């Protein structure tokens, strides 16, 4: 899967997320890195979170399909923020399922915050769930319209490239 050009600025966690509607203020949305802000940006979080599940490969396939369907609705409206939030939920489906595939219970650290030296083996079904999300995530990242709207948003909001 080709990498998207890096862009955006660090997510601004100081915004008043409890009363901010990003559909009304897309100019305040920052792409950030990875999944930054996925559980903060409304109304998209409330629209997408109920669709997000990864317990089994079958549940993941339904979830990824529903998230992609919502992505397509945002795309049809030219709503980049919604498209990017759907991408973040797909990416989060992949990363969370991978975490549970790698470590039993999804834990990477002990109670003191130290990495687990010998984590218990994870759940192989979660690895299958992760692959389901990864395939759909690739569709989004490779979508020329997503790439075009992403670049337009970054340019319009004057978001410089991220370093690293």
pLDDT of 58-92, one tens digit each?
999 999 999 999 999 999 999 999 999 999 999 99
Asked whether residue 125 is domain-assigned, the answer is yes
CA of 37: how far to CAs of 2, 10, 40, 150, in Å? Answer: 24, 10, 5, 16
Task: For residues 23 and 27, give the distance between their C-alpha atoms in angstroms, rounded to a whole number.
Answer: 9
* Domain span holding position 128: 42-105+121-152
Burial class of residue 59 in the structure, from the number of CB atoms within 10 Å of its CB (0-12 exposed, 13-18 middle, 19+ buried):
middle
Give the bridge partners for 115, in sequence order.
Answer: 109
CB atoms within 10 A of CB 157: 16
Asked whether residue 144 is domain-assigned, the answer is yes
Under a CB-based contact definition with an 8 Å cutoff, are residues 97 and 61 in contact?
no
Asked whether residue 133 is domain-assigned, the answer is yes
| Higher-scoring residue by pLDDT: 3, 102 | 102
Asked whether residue 7 is domain-assigned, the answer is no
Task: For residues 52 and 49, give the distance between their C-alpha atoms in angstroms, rounded to a whole number.
Answer: 5
Asked whether residue 157 is domain-assigned, the answer is no
Is the model's pTM score more than 0.95?
Answer: no
Query: Beta strands of the chain (E only): which ranges?
Result: none
Asked whether residue 163 is domain-assigned, the answer is no
Asked whether residue 34 is domain-assigned, the answer is no
Asked whether residue 17 is domain-assigned, the answer is no
Under a CB-based contact definition with an 8 Å cutoff, are residues 141 and 133 in contact?
no
Mean pLDDT of the chain: 88
For Cα atoms 134, 70, 23, give the angle at the middle one, nearest 5 degrees.
Answer: 115
What per-residue confidence (pLDDT) applies to 9?
Answer: 57
Burial class of residue 41 in the structure, from the number of CB atoms within 10 Å of its CB (0-12 exposed, 13-18 middle, 19+ buried):
buried
Domain count, the chain: 1
Question: Which of 5-9, 73-77, 107-111 is modeled with the greatest confidence?
Answer: 73-77
């Amino acid at each position: 899967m080709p990498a998207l050009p890096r862009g955006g600025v660090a997510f601004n966690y100081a915004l008043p997320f409890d009363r901010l509607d990003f559909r009304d203020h897309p100019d305040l949305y920052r792409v950030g890195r990875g999944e930054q802000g996925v559980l903060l940006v409304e109304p998209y979080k409330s629209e997408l979170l109920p669709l997000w599940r990864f317990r089994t490969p079958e549940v993941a396939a339904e979830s990824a399909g529903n998230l992609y369907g919502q992505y397509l609705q945002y795309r049809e409206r030219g709503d980049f923020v919604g498209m990017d939030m759907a991408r973040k939920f797909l990416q989060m489906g992949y990363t969370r399922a991978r975490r549970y595939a790698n470590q039993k219970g999804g834990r990477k650290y002990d109670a003191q915050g130290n990495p687990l030296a010998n984590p218990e083996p994870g759940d192989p079904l979660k690895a299958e769930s992760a692959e389901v999300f990864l395939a759909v995530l690739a569709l989004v990242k490779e979508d020329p319209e997503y790439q075009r709207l992403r670049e337009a948003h970054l340019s319009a909001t004057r978001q410089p490239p991220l370093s690293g």
